[in-house]
């Protein structure tokens, strides 16, 4: 029997399942623990279950001690984890891909429709209590049918989003670090293009790339200037892929039509230049926020911990 430190509250029965096999230290709080609490939570742990809000760095790993074998990150992205520090200490890192693909793709398409059809702005009109009535020119948005949907990062979530865009009658462009699945390209009747073409031709550019040193501020002032002034930017991946200051400047100058954002550069802070804009839709990082999806994420993290502590290969290790 090992010791598992679960640093934040999890949905479903994941904690109970872990408790059938191991001793569990469970912090039943939504937020990440204060730094002062971390050593006591993780000291002597064989496994740590962390959520996206928890930074897993060398200090945390060292506080756990040399017996730590696995960190299970309840997210598909792992930019909150110092992967090199894990490798140096022989700690396996796992994530939760696959189970959140559809939920996140749904949010990307929702943001697309919200910003192109001005739906958030329209809802605010109704909620304001100000008089309104049907009008031929009231809150006119833009149709997506026949427009071009660009996917930056055609992995599982990017391709799932592209399928939804295709169902809405959009043409699909794909660009990523590696060639996308050829069967998916054929299914979508998609065109694989270079980065410059993606920027220049997309009416909606949807971001699905992971956050790495190479992708941080990939969409900077120079990249945004290459987009059409009638184009929309949607980001459900990681906030720092987009330079928020450059995005605000582009919107203020009319060089972009709008943006739909579920993630931000310095969460939970949001650039003040975005907050009052009617051409921007802002969501608080809810891409995977369905009970079913979050429960599946917690279950997968628990399964990874049990597998590693039982001496088996993890289901979804980060390589």
| Residues assigned a catalytic role | 238, 267, 285
Q: Are 22 and 46 in contact, with CB atoms under 8 Å apart?
A: yes
**Using CA of residue 214, residue 220, residue 225, residue 227, what is the dihedral sign?**
positive
CA 21, 22, 24: angle at the middle one, nearest 5? 130
Q: What angle do CA 161, 179, 116 make, to 5 degrees?
A: 25
Q: Is 68 left (phi over 0), alpha (psi -120 to 50) or beta?
A: beta
Backbone angles phi and psi of 13, in degrees to 5:
-110, 20
Count CA atoms closer than 13 A to 309's CA, side-chain side: 26
CA 286, distance to chain mean position in Å, is: 8
How many CA within 13 A on the CB side of residue 110? 16
CA 111 to chain centre: 13
> CA separation (Å) from 102 to 107, 165, 287?
9, 13, 9
Contact 81, 93 (CB under 8 A): yes
**Do 152 and 177 meet the contact criterion of CB atoms below 8 Å apart?**
no
Q: What gap in Å lies between CA 300 and CA 254, rounded to an integer? A: 44
For residue 219, the SS3 value is strand
What 3-state class would DSSP assign to 122? helix
User: What distance in Å separates the CA atoms of residue 49 and residue 70, rounded to the nearest whole number?
Assistant: 8
């Amino acid at each position: 029997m090992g010791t598992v430190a679960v640093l934040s509250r999890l949905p479903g029965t994941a904690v109970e399942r872990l408790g059938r096999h191991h001793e569990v230290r469970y912090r039943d709080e939504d937020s990440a623990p204060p730094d002062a609490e971390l050593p006591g939570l993780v000291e002597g742990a064989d496994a740590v279950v962390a959520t996206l809000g928890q930074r897993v760095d060398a200090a945390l790993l060292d506080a756990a001690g040399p017996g730590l074998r696995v960190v299970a990150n309840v997210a598909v992205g792992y930019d909150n984890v110092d992967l090199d520090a894990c490798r140096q200490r022989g700690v396996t890192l796992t994530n939760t891909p696959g189970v959140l693909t559809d939920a996140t793709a749904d949010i990307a398409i929702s943001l697309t429709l919200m910003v192109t059809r001005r739906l958030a702005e329209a809802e605010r009109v109704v909620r304001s209590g100000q008089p309104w009535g049907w009008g031929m020119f009231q809150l006119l948005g833009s149709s997506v049918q026949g427009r071009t949907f660009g996917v930056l990062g055609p992995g599982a979530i990017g391709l799932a989003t592209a399928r939804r865009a295709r169902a809405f009658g959009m043409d699909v462009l794909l660009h990523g670090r590696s060639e996308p699945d050829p069967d998916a390209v054929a299914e979508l009747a998609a065109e694989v293009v270079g980065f410059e073409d993606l920027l220049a031709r997309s009416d909606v550019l949807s971001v699905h790339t992971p956050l790495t040193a190479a992708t941080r501020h990939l969409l900077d002032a120079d990249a945004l200037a290459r987009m059409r002034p009638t184009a929309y930017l949607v980001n459900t991946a990681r906030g720092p892929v987009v330079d928020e200051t450059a995005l605000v400047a582009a919107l203020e100058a009319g060089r972009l039509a709008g943006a739909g954002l579920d993630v931000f550069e310095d969460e939970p802070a949001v650039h003040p230049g975005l907050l009052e804009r009617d051409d921007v839709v802002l969501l608080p990082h809810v891409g995977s926020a369905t009970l079913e999806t979050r429960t599946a994420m917690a279950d997968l993290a628990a399964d990874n911990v049990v597998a590693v502590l039982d001496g088996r290969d993890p289901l979804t290790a980060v390589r």
